[in-house]
Amino acid sequence: MAEIESLRGNLYFPMGDMDRCLAAHQRALGHARAAGSVLGEARALGGLGDAYYQQGRMITAHAHFVRCVGLARAHGFVRIECANLPMVGAVELFLNQLDSARASCEQGLRLARRIGDARSEMLAYDVMTSTAQLAGDWPQAEAHARLALALTRRLGARRFEAEVLARLGLALGALGQMQEAEALLDEALQLSHASGLRYSGPTVLGFLARTTHDPDRQLDALRQAEAILAQGCVSHCHVDLLEAAIDVSVSLRRWQEADRYLAALQDYMRPEPFPWGDFLIRRGRALVSAGQEEEGGGTPALRETLRQLRDEAHAAGLLASLAAIDAALKRLAAGRN
């Protein structure tokens, strides 16, 4: 029964069926403990980490993944340890722990190569792509994404292929390779339609909105993504899309839309706020205020808030977020002269 419920929960995960995913893994844990199965318990703890991750409860997810990895390591369940180390890293990104995320993924990579677990290797490279993305290290993001992409194609993992193609497209766009970037994002969107829009569709569309320079296409991508999100999606779809929507709205000076997306992110995090989302909200609100007040140079309090956000981003390694903050400070300085 523990094994059946774990499998059931794993099926609900990519479907975006959050409540059933969580309930199945909770039942799996209960059955495993009733049977005295440490293996089943470790597997269920990893499943619960996935379920809480899916709901955006990143702090709770982290606790379950760490317990899973610790139990697996103590009892020699190498495949379970290997499979969950990249997820420890994935959740550490949302806790603004980029160095820890890299370390978790590197441990997972070493283990995956030793035991020949290509899926875990693929997942580690996928998370390392996201880490480089947040750090603004676009050449590294491209390199990791290409390694992850080769593994997804070798495994025939089309659901992951769509996500990795999108991350590669975002990296190439940031590196100025616009034609290839948009082609990859279009390919990723087609794959998402085939493999399940609720797993990666909003992420792909959010990255497309961040990459294209066509305002009409940006807004159309955001509208499509919101419609998919309303059907219920895995957590990374929410945060990837809302990050993109906030930044695109600010860049297009659509202040009301930016406020709406900021409120949506705050509402999404309401059950359990996490540090990266909190930073995005404070940064977004400051950028909106700076845009509205730039002709007058902004208040001293606003300028100080932006400087504090810049320092916070540097300390956490969130270097991709700096350009908009620095540009806002520059415009405010010009508005004072």
Dist CA 223 CA 244 (whole Å): 12
Instruction: Please state the separation of Cα 220 from the chain's center in Å.
Output: 22
Region 230-243 average pLDDT: 91
Percent of the chain with pLDDT over 90: 90
Model confidence at 294: pLDDT above 90 = no
Decide yes or no: CATH 1.25.40 for domain 157-250. yes
Q: If you write DSSP's letter for every residue of 173-188 in order, what string do you get?
A: HHTT-HHHHHHHHHHH
Model confidence at 205: pLDDT above 90 = yes
DSSP letter at 272 equals S
Residue 296 pLDDT? 83
Exposure b/e, 49-83, CB count within 10 A at least 16 = b: bbbbbbbbbbebbbbbbbbbbebbeeeebeebbbb
pLDDT tens, residue by residue, 36-76: 999 999 999 999 999 999 999 999 999 999 999 999 999 99
Residue 198 pLDDT? 86
Residue 321 pLDDT? 97
AA identity, residue 39: L
Region 277-301 average pLDDT: 94
Model confidence at 328: pLDDT above 80 = yes
- Identify the sign of the CA torsion 323, 245, 101, 132: negative
Nearest to 266 by CA among 252, 258, 275, 277: 277
DSSP letter at 296 equals G
Q: Which pair of structure tokens corresponds to residue 322?
A: 């700096």
AA identity, residue 101: A
pLDDT tens, residue by residue, 253-269: 999 999 999 999 999 99
Nearest to 269 by CA among 111, 122, 95, 118: 95
Dist CA 179 CA 161 (whole Å): 20
pLDDT tens, residue by residue, 104-120: 999 999 999 999 999 99
